[in-house]
Amino acid sequence: MLVVEGHKHMAEVGFSRFSAREVAKRIGYSIGTLYNVMGSYDHLVMAINTRTFVLWTAYMQVRLDGAEKDPIRALVEGYFGFAHANRNAWTAIYDHHLPPDFALPEEHEAVRGRLTDLVVAKVAALLPDACREAAPRLARSLVATVHGHCVFDLNGSFRLMGEQAPVEMALDRVRESLAIAQGGGDLTEFVIDRGSQDG
């Protein structure tokens, strides 16, 4: 329950104002106990962030189940949707840096990898059989693409530049790359209807 309460605290105050002492206070533990149980501040935040991945993956799965017709849109909107709805917790994932000598335990890696697996599966399903083995690599690249747009959306870079539809823009980029990976057959649609620029 320590991690659950810690996750709540992270969601409420954000990474920069997060403190292990406050988590201990919230759950009725002393700071000494929290340290004995978790090991260190880094271990606590790592556990909280892995929990965020679990919630994120579940969130994505629900979105996917309700949108079989356009899973790619569901994935992109799910990425942004979770980040917006859980801003502090989501941001903490990328704000927290483990020390260089501190490798993420394999169990945590496995849990966090489920989210990527979801994307790989949907991307693979869209590719021709001939190049299906390229799906994992392309999927990772598309996730990175969406991530970049999501970061700029949440940190205000896009707002600063007057961008008003970052989700649609990310989706445009993803669809472009997917269309090309699929063989470039119907690419004219992008030329005629160039995304949603004036949305």
The angle, 0 to 180 degrees and rounded to 10, between the axes of the packed helices 41-65 and 31-38 is 70
Structure tokens at 194: 């160039």
Return the number of the residue (18 or 158) whose C-beta is nearest DNA.
18
Return the number of the residue (65 or 163) whose C-beta is nearest its own copies.
163
37 binds DNA (CB under 7 A): yes
187 binds its own copies (CB under 8 A): yes
Spatial CB neighbours of 6, under 8 Å, sequence gap ≥ 6: 20, 23, 44, 47, 48
**What is the DSSP secondary-structure string of the chain?**
-HHHHHHHHHHHH-GGG--HHHHHHHHT--HHHHHHHH-SHHHHHHHHHHHHHHHHHHHHHHHHHT-SS-HHHHHHHHHHHHHHHTHHHHHHHHH----TT-PPPHHHHHHHHHHHHHHHHHHHHHS-GGGGGGHHHHHHHHHHHHHHHHHHHHTTHHHHTT---HHHHHHHHHHHHHHHHTTSTTTHHHHHS-TTTT-
145 binds its own copies (CB under 8 A): yes
Instruction: Please choose which of its own copies, DNA, none residue 46 contacts, taking the beta carbon within 5 to 8 angstroms, the exact cut-off set by kind.
Output: none
Instruction: Please choose which of DNA, its own copies, none residue 146 contacts, taking the beta carbon within 5 to 8 angstroms, the exact cut-off set by kind.
Output: its own copies
Instruction: Please choose which of its own copies, DNA, none residue 41 contacts, taking the beta carbon within 5 to 8 angstroms, the exact cut-off set by kind.
Output: DNA
28 binds DNA (CB under 7 A): yes
Return the number of the residue (42 or 168) whose C-beta is nearest DNA.
42
95 binds DNA (CB under 7 A): no
Instruction: Please choose which of its own copies, DNA, none residue 40 contacts, taking the beta carbon within 5 to 8 angstroms, the exact cut-off set by kind.
Output: DNA
List of residues contacting its own copies (CB under 8 A): 14, 16, 91, 94-95, 97, 104, 109, 113, 116, 131, 134, 136-137, 140-141, 143-149, 151-152, 155, 157-158, 160-161, 163, 166, 169-170, 172-173, 176-177, 180-181, 183-184, 187-188, 190-191, 194, 197
List of residues contacting DNA (CB under 7 A): 18-22, 28-33, 35-37, 40-42
